A and B are shown apart, each in its own frame.
Chain A
């Protein structure tokens, strides 16, 4: 593989040319916040939180392939402000009540809110009227907590047809929809996989939970950008 030179935050790196900016940053322990990205599935760039200054333009790190002599700036005061605005928008747009959520402490959205020290969003809470779909035997889909990142959609799509999770409607009416018939025989492993794909608590397993007590969860002691050995595993 051809190696090319890119500069990230003022430092040069020789990298493989088929990587995205995000992949290269991760390999080199440079933190770029993400939400809709999940390692192993095709990136889509819908949350926009990984936006960096790439060759002078705002572009998402997860979808932009590296190119020779590319200059990337991953962190500025302004970028962090914009990212924090996106986190705030997500909190304002949905109904996120962390204390009662199974994913609290394990939630990427919550962890980013702590990272950006969000207290009260500058946006109006919408308090949308959203449903909880608990009719499936193995999983609960709580639309209140869904941040519409499409991770559940993309995870299945690449594996095979037909797709289980999809989008429905458009604009602010958009929501996740899933096929109850095709997922009727979900076993515990599949249900766990679906839950693990979700960055927040929108997909939750039925009759199972709180295995790890609060206080001992992933982000309870270490922030999401932590680069200690344990967090990097």
Chain B
């Protein structure tokens, strides 16, 4: 950050030569709160960031000393996450969503409004250190964009007028809770078997714990339930592997790191049906033999943390968590919340576990799989929020009931998050087997150019594929459906946005993911600028194989925005390219500009360059 951006007003020790900008006593208190446990580094960093506005040098030194780590090792974790910073980000930090749908809904105007009202550019902090403006990847509010997070609170459907009011409030030192214009809506527009409130939570849990764990797993197996995160791994099989794996302890993890742009169904479950989720996690704990369940909650959803804690307390009071859960002697089980720090890749299960251990969220090599060696090297089952909800319903209503829904290979229902160019964006719970066109009809989408199914890592499909089914055996989706109208420039507005997303969110470990995404962007820029040739398109297609060498799903699918649009919208590419074999990219004037400036020469660009 440049000199100009460093804040003046809100540094407690301003002018102190030591450069200490942190309240050291407070940091010690935070460390003590987590019992000086190295494994809770994420929580410690979050609390320090929240209370100090950054994790500065002094804080890093203090944390390093207590954990007998090197300072650079603390920075190694902290610099990985989007919401941690080594330099102050303001008393109020505005994170404005920059997802493709936010752009569609007029983010540009909101960006300008913030910059004008605050008086600084995005990526910096106001002169007085009061307000910081930053971009952030999809915050799970695609149904109410443009939206932003300010000090963990979410502000939706922003307009110029709302921005003016919010900034005025921040300038007048309002508490974040008192800032105007915030209302996250659930937008549940179609309820199905999961969202329908017909399950008494205690009953579902009791039913499970008075069966044997093997019988519970068998029941889930009979339901043919598959993971709802997108990959579709059979839940019962995962549990069985985990249960059978030897270890000192077994762990249940709920993956609530819903980072796929355009997905927000977990947000709605977490705020509207948390009891169902926790019941599912408890049943899972019983089935695999765990005593601890951990909900890994993405940082963007911290606004709901307090409410979730209350729900957990309530469950403990009812005897549905804690000792002898639901009256089952010897079944002791509790759930805690672990926050993330802002990293899409942590939605990958092994990266999620690394993060939960207080490390960089880099996916692990497999084997061993998390079911054998997961959290703290112990057998761990990581399941999606929606999967757990399905589990609770299945236990309550039976596998047979569940199997009667959906298709043969994709049983049950699916919550889809629909956003983009449609009249009614929101949550729709559909049975597997619905076609894309069915969904488009539900949401009131007309003049549709394309539909992005499964987010940026999924597929971009054209109207001739709208009769395809949403199902594991056809179009698989973790829940994101983005409708793209005919008025959009698919390559510029969508593909480039997605590529930027993948470049930003790569963990940087595998070579193809780190380096090839940048190459894809360069090629796309060339094509969009009208300087591409057919060979450029062929090369991009051939690079897909290299991307498949990456370790995790993020890396393997990071080229999908390009590949699927080339396959389904080839005409858009063909219209942009030159019909020759070669177009020179070399710009002599630009190449010699700097050297001429340094030498004080006027470049001679005429005629023969030799």
Q: Point out residues on A near B: beta carbons under 8 Å.
A: 43-49, 51, 58, 60, 63-65, 78, 82, 85-86, 89-90, 92-93, 122-124, 126, 147-148, 150, 161-174, 177-179, 181-182
Contact = CB atoms under 8 A, between A and B. Distances in A.
Contact of A86 (B343, B360, B549): B549
Given A164-B72, A170-B506, A181-B71, 10 more contacts: A46-B511, A47-B510, A51-B549, A89-B512, A150-B509, A162-B69, A170-B507, A171-B504, A174-B507, A177-B72
A45 B548 CA distance: 14
Contacts of A174: 507-509, 514
17 contacts: A43-B365, A48-B512, A48-B550, A49-B511, A89-B519, A93-B518, A148-B508, A162-B70, A163-B69, A164-B70, A166-B75, A170-B343, A171-B503, A171-B505, A171-B507, A171-B514, A172-B518
Nearest to A48: B549
Contact of A179 (B71, B80, B508): B71
Nearest to A86: B511
Most buried by B among A63, A126, A147, A166: A166
Interface in B282-334: none
A168 B76 contact: yes
Contacts of B465: none
A82 B545 CA distance: 7
B499 to A, nearest CB: 12
Contacts of B72: 163-166, 168, 177-179
A223 B419 CA distance: 55
A84 B474 CA distance: 34
A46 B69 contact: no
B519 A172 contact: no
B546 A86 contact: yes
B73 interface: yes
Contacts, number: 131
A169 B80 contact: yes
Contacts of B71: 179, 181
A172 B513 CA distance: 9
Nearest to B535: A122
B64 interface: yes
A85 B548 CA distance: 13
A116 B79 CA distance: 36
A51 B551 CA distance: 10
Contact of A182 (B70, B510, B551): B70
B511 A47 contact: yes
Nearest to A164: B70
B516 interface: yes
Contacts of A147: 511
A92 B76 CA distance: 25
Contacts of B550: 48
Contacts of B196: none
Contact of B519 (A51, A123, A148, A168): A123
B539 A46 contact: no
Given A89-B515, A122-B539, A167 B510 contact: no
Contacts of A179: 70-73
Contacts of B365: 43-45, 60, 63
B506 A171 contact: yes
A210 to B, nearest CB: 29
Contacts of B369: none
A167 B545 contact: no
B570 interface: no
Nearest to A90: B511
Nearest to B505: A171
A93 to B, nearest CB: 4
Q: Considering residues B360, B511, B512, B518, which has the most beta carbons from chain A within 10 angstroms of its beta carbon?
A: B511
B600 interface: no
Contacts of B504: 171
B55 to A, nearest CB: 13
A48 B545 CA distance: 12
B10 interface: no
B598 interface: no
B33 to A, nearest CB: 23
A162 B512 contact: no
A168 B543 CA distance: 27
A166 B360 CA distance: 11
B522 interface: yes
Given A82-B546, A172-B518, A89 B511 contact: yes
B68 interface: yes
Contacts of B79: 168-170
Closest 9 CB pairs of A and B: A174-B508, A166-B76, A162-B70, A63-B365, A89-B515, A171-B506, A179-B70, A93-B515, A48-B549
Contacts of A161: 68-69
Contact of B548 (A58, A86, A171, A178): A58
A163 B77 CA distance: 13
Nearest to B502: A171
Given A48-B550, A60-B365, A169 B508 contact: yes
Contacts of B514: 93, 148, 171-172, 174
A78 B549 CA distance: 12
Contact of A48 (B69, B360, B511, B519): B511
A93 B546 CA distance: 15
B509 A46 contact: yes
Nearest to B543: A85
Nearest to A64: B367
B75 A78 contact: no
A169 B516 CA distance: 18
Contacts of A78: 545
Contacts of B509: 44, 46, 148, 150, 174
A52 to B, nearest CB: 11
A189 to B, nearest CB: 20
Interface in B77-103: 79-80
Nearest to B82: A170
Interface string B339-370: 00001000000000000000010000101000
Contact of A166 (B73, B519, B551): B73
B112 to A, nearest CB: 27
A162 B73 contact: yes
Interface string B508-533: 11111011111100110000000000
Contacts of A124: 519, 522-523
Nearest to B80: A170
A37 to B, nearest CB: 12
A178 to B, nearest CB: 6
A58 B544 CA distance: 13
A167 B512 contact: no
A136 to B, nearest CB: 13
